[in-house]
Amino acid sequence: MGVSLSHATGRGRGGRRTLRPNADINVTPFVDVMLVLLIVFMVTAPLLTVGVPVDLPQTRAQNIPTKEQPLQVTIDAQGQIYVQKSKVETENLVPMLTAIAKSQAQAAGSGGGNPNETRIFVFGDQALAYGRIMQVMGAITSAGFTRVALISETPKGQAALTPAPAATAPAPRR
């Protein structure tokens, strides 16, 4: 709280002007704190990526824009499956994804949403056989998840040229 010398309320006793307190808020400390928090978040945000390190195949497809945090299913070079960073057996993959999707849908709002609309990104090591990746994707899509996408890396020094599909699922055999 400060005192403003330019505002007088009138004449007091003896012809003197009385000063009234100025109730303006000093926002400088608030701005300083917000700038420090901004810097802290800018430094820590890139470090918060969750995942298992795999050697992704490279492609020139564009990134998929998304607002919500997707579930990450990773298949390493030995064929082991991870959900986020937790190792999961193949038979436990679908129940785990279903449970996580239901809890996320309930936490998202009062309506709950559709748990099968959860976005799932599948990361597969490039040394892994394509069939193993398709087994995992088939298990995920057969459980009713419709927003499943394969993730790859853009080759260094090359820009993405073609847009990637919003969801990739194995095509039915005929």
Q: What is the pLDDT of residues 26-50, one digit of tens each?
A: 889 999 999 999 999 888 877 766 5
pLDDT per residue over 62-83, tens digit each? Answer: 665 656 678 888 898 888 899 8
* pLDDT at residue number 32: 93
Residue 51 banded pLDDT, cuts 50, 70, 90: low
**How many other CB atoms are there within 10 angstroms of residue 17's CB atom?**
11
Average model confidence (pLDDT) for the chain? 75
Q: Which residues pair with 150 in a beta bridge?
A: 122
Domains of the chain: residue spans and CATH: 2-48 (no CATH), 51-174 (3.30.420.270)
Selected residue with higher pLDDT from 58 and 82? 82
With a CB cutoff of 8 Å and minimum separation 6, the contacts of 116 are 101, 143, 144, 145, 146
Closest CA to 90 of 82, 78, 99, 98: 82
Residue 135 CA to residue 153 CA, distance in Å, equals 21
* pLDDT at residue number 125: 86
Residue 135 banded pLDDT, cuts 50, 70, 90: confident
> Residue 168 pLDDT more than 60?
no
Residue 113 banded pLDDT, cuts 50, 70, 90: low
Selected residue with higher pLDDT from 32 and 3? 32
